[in-house]
Each structure stands twice: as structure tokens, then as C-alpha cells.
Chains A and B, each alone.
Chain A
Amino acid sequence: MNALSSGLRIIGLGHAFGPQPIIDQISLELPRGRVGCLIGPSGCGKSTLLSMVGDLAHPAQGHIHHDFHHPVFVFQDPCLLPWRDAVDNVAFGLKAQGIDCRTRRSRAHDWLTKVGLETSDSHKYPHELSGGMRQRVALARALAVRPDLLLLDEPFSALDVGLRRQMQSLVRRLISEHELTALLVTHDLAEAVRLADRIWVLTPKPARLAAARDIERPFAYRDDGFVQAEVGNMLADPAIAAALAMVEETL
């Protein structure tokens, strides 16, 4: 990992809200083109760490180095503008980049198709879309700006199991097709195994690195049996089991 030529490198990251430390000495590296996953109990500081990588917050200690030019977020809440229809929501990021109206709407239409929305849904407002459709619009909005780093902050946790699986497959396919680097935050170990090339397990607050695992098997071959076996293997590690004990309780 010392030979990391391009990608994300976090060194000695620490952060606190007031006197309460929430992140303590976290160091990790994510090479370009890989999918990393931070897993830990709710409220352990995973999302804060992701915000710092995306430059929405600044760390109190340590450094974050990366050579990505367009990091984008997909949040747990789709955060769609309720007063804009699906096309204009997808076009929002493009508008922020100063792209002209015709081009951004055309690209927004293309992306809505890519994430699986019907043409007839393009002009629906967020309240007229189902939860899964809203999350697809949010994903299209993020990918439309041609990002090189995708920051996924528990984007599927509000969806039911069936929709979650569909969205996981869609995201992983789009990541592969567009050769993106992605950093995912979740508290679902099976989701981490299903999507990530490298998993970092964080302890309860303050978040420290409890363990790191690489998932070598290509995404296309990660069937349910593999995911279950891998989850079992990981939980057999006492450090991981201890760190995730609170996750199991919250689930």
C-alpha cells in the first residue's frame, strides 16, 4: 500500500465534537478504481469521516490526501429538491457546474434511463416517486456530473430488502462501467461484503480501526452463499465481532 500511486490516503485522522472525541487516529488507503467500505455502529463517526473525504467538513487532526477532482455524495436521504421534477433534480449538479440548460437536461434524461426510470417518470415530482425511484434519481444526479469518487453514505438503508439488493447491483454495475472509485458507509456487513473490495471495521465511538479485510472474489461471483460464508468468517474474528456487537444489537 505504500506504493499507492493514486487514490485516497487518510493519515492519523482525528476529530471531536466539543470535548467528545468521535474519530481517533484512523489511517487507511483506497487505490483508484476500488470500492472501499467503512462499517461500524450507528453514530460512530463514519458519516463524519465521509464528509471530511468529500470536503464538507475539516478534520481536527491528521490529513486526507487524494487526487480526485469530482467527489460526489449519495446520502441515505435522497435529498431531492421537492419543487423540481426528476429531470431537473438530476440536472442540479450539472447546473452547479455551469452546464447549459439543453445539455444538462439531455444528460439528465440519459442518466434517468441508465438508472432504470421510465421516460414517463422524468417529469414527476419527488412526492410522486416511490422510495426506490427517489434513490435512483439521487444516484443519477451524482453520476451525471461524471465524478471520479463516489461517496455513498448508507444510501440503501432506508429501502426494504428487495429494493436494497436491486440498488446494490445497480450501483456496483455503474461503478464498474464508469471505472469509479467508491467509498461506502454502512452498518450492514452483508452489504459491505457484497459491494466492497476492501472493508474497514470501526469500533464504537470514538471510531478506531478495529480490522481491515480484502474481498478478493470478483463482484459478479459474490452470490448469497459466498456473502453468508464471508460474513461468518469475519464475525469469527474477535476484534470484528466486538466492534460490530453494537451493530447486531441495533439491527
Chain B
Amino acid sequence: MQTRGRGLRALDYLWGGWGVAASLLLLIALWEAGHAAYGTLVLPSPRDSFAALWKLAEAGRMLPAIWDTSINALGGFAAASVAGGLLGVLAGASDMMRRLLQPIATLMLGIPAIAWVVLSLLWFGGTGFAVSFTVLVTTAPIVFAGSAQGMRTLDGALKRMAQSFRAPWPVLAWDVYLPHMLSYLFPALATALALSWKVTVMAELLSGSGGIGDGLATARVQVDTIKAMAWVVTVVGLLLIVEYLLLEPVRRHLQVWRREMPGVGPSATAGF
């Protein structure tokens, strides 16, 4: 029964892909219309952009750039997840820690990402580390907020129930706190991951440390709008791959225990 249920869910997910494909094709049609209206210098056509993308790939520049950008983005994101997640747990568990950490997180959220890019470049030079550091400091407060909120909002009755069974802390963490926290933590992580790519490209553009951002900087210097669009398509493609091949399946898996909205899916069983 469960296998069949999983199979149906997978089919349902794949069928949902038609909607995404339709949406992307509509966007490309609008892009083509924009190109027809404003010309190649302002907005190159999708065909030219994809051709430029192919040329970049053939020249062997695409994959190393994607690799560098991914390492910079995911390195900073991983560090932010660990630091923000753990500090959030501390802030959620202790009022004193929350009072101490919350203003710092708010302050860090208030500093524009571009300011962190400049500071990182001054502190660490034009290296991949500067880029990852920028990602860390811009995304950690988001993860922190999600983690702290998840920790604080666990139903007191569930805590009492777990306490009544004298659950040791690993069981308490794995079975009680973590699943509840994921409801808050996962959207924060998804937002942080999406932001990581954007901040990485921006930091790479200014630092010249390689990656997609560096490619964009070169295209800007050469006033090559087609190549710039090719790099934009690359980073958007990365975002879409991460969203639909990683985040969305995880999101669906995590939501399986949630109550269906009225009129959607199988309803609650009524019998006794």
C-alpha cells in the first residue's frame, strides 16, 4: 500500500512538471517578445542566448564556472546552516540567549548584502573564501530565525508527554523537536539557499574570483549582452535544478503528515 502510495505521489510530482514547463515556455515567449520590441543590444533573443550558452560549454568555461559558484555558494550555505541552526536552537531554548542573539541577528539582516561583499573583499581579498564568507553572514540570520522560532513553538503538551516517558535527549531531539523545527527551519533553509546563489554571483562579479559572477563581469566589460544573458540563464538553471530536484521533493516528503486542506486529497477518516 505504502509503495503504491509513493509511486502515485512520484507520478503526481512528474505530472506537475508540465505546469512548470508551461510556465517556463511562457516566460521564454515573453522574452522573445521583449527581444522583438527592443533589439539584441538590450535583450538578445532566447535562441542567441542558448547558442552562446552552448559555445561557453563547448569552450570548457561553463562547467568550471558552475563548479566554482556551487562550491562558493554551498560552502557558505552549509556553514550558515550549521551556525544559524545551532545558535537558533540555543536562542529557542534559553530566553537569555534569545535576548543576547536576537538583536545581533536583526542587525546582520539589516546590513545590505553588497556591504558584506565590500567588507569581505577588504578583509579576505578576491578569493572564494571572501565569497563564501559573504554568503555565510547574509544567510545565517535567516536560518537562525527559523531555527529559534521552531525551537520555541513546540507544543508544551508534547514536551510533557515526552517527559512523562522519560525520553532521553537523543529521542527527544529526533522524534519531538526536529520534526517540529523542520516546519520552520526548512522554509528558512530554502530561502537561504536561493539567496546563497544570488549573493555568490554578486560577490564573484565584484571579486573576480572565478565562477558565474566572474563570467558576467567579463561580459559586462565586453558589452556582450548575449554572453551576459547566457550566464544569467546558467544561474537561473542552477536555481531551478536545486528547487525542483532537491527542495521540492524534500518539501513534499516533510509535509506528508500534515492535514490536507479541505477538498484536497483524501480526507480524514471519520469512523471509530
Contact = CB atoms under 8 A, between A and B. Distances in A.
Interface of A: 54, 56, 72-73, 75, 77, 79, 81-85, 92-93, 95-98, 120-121, 123-130, 132-133, 145, 163, 166
B4 interface: no
Contacts of B175: 81, 84, 92, 95
A120 B268 CA distance: 14
Contact of B268 (A83, A96, A123, A127): A127
Interface string B152-170: 0000011011111111100
Contacts of B64: none
Given A72-B165, A81-B176, A92-B175, A130 B269 contact: yes
B269 A124 contact: yes
Contacts of B264: none
Contacts of B270: 130
Contacts of B171: 92, 95-96
Contacts of A125: 256-257
B179 interface: yes
Given A79-B157, A83-B257, A92 B165 contact: yes
Nearest to B258: A127
Secondary structure call for the A interface? loop
Contact of B167 (A56, A96, A132): A96
Contacts of B180: 83
Interface residues of B, number: 28
16 contacts: A56-B160, A77-B157, A81-B179, A84-B179, A92-B165, A92-B175, A95-B175, A96-B171, A97-B165, A120-B1, A121-B269, A123-B2, A126-B257, A127-B258, A128-B266, A133-B269
Given A73-B164, A96-B166, A127-B257, A79 B158 contact: yes
Given A75-B161, A81-B179, A92-B171, 9 more contacts: A56-B163, A72-B165, A75-B157, A79-B158, A79-B161, A120-B1, A127-B258, A133-B269, A166-B272
B268 A93 contact: no
B252 interface: no
B35 to A, nearest CB: 48
B269 A129 contact: yes
Nearest 9 pairs between A and B by C-beta?
A: A79-B161, A83-B179, A96-B167, A127-B259, A132-B272, A96-B165, A73-B164, A93-B165, A83-B257
Contacts of B163: 56
B16 interface: no
Contacts of A133: 269, 271-272
Contacts of A130: 268-272
B167 to A, nearest CB: 4
Contacts of B176: 81
Contacts of B160: 56, 75, 79
Contacts of B162: 92, 96
A182 B165 CA distance: 16
Contacts of A82: 257-258
Contacts of A163: 272
Nearest to B266: A128
Contacts of B157: 75, 77, 79
B153 to A, nearest CB: 13
- Residue from A95, A145, A163 whose CB has the most chain B CB atoms within 10 Å: A95
Contacts of A81: 158, 175-176, 179
Contacts of B179: 81, 83-84
B165 to A, nearest CB: 4
Interface in B133-163: 157-158, 160-163
Interface string B240-272: 000000000000000011110000001011111
A126 B268 CA distance: 9
Among A83, A84, A85, A126, the most chain B Cβ lie within 10 Å of the Cβ of A83
Q: Which of B2, B162, B167, B257 has the most CB of A within 10 A?
A: B257
A130 B161 CA distance: 20
Contacts of A73: 161, 164
Contacts of A93: 165
Interface in B171-214: 171, 175-176, 179-180
Contacts of A84: 175, 179, 257
A97 to B, nearest CB: 8
A104 to B, nearest CB: 11
Nearest to A95: B171
Contacts of A75: 157, 160-161
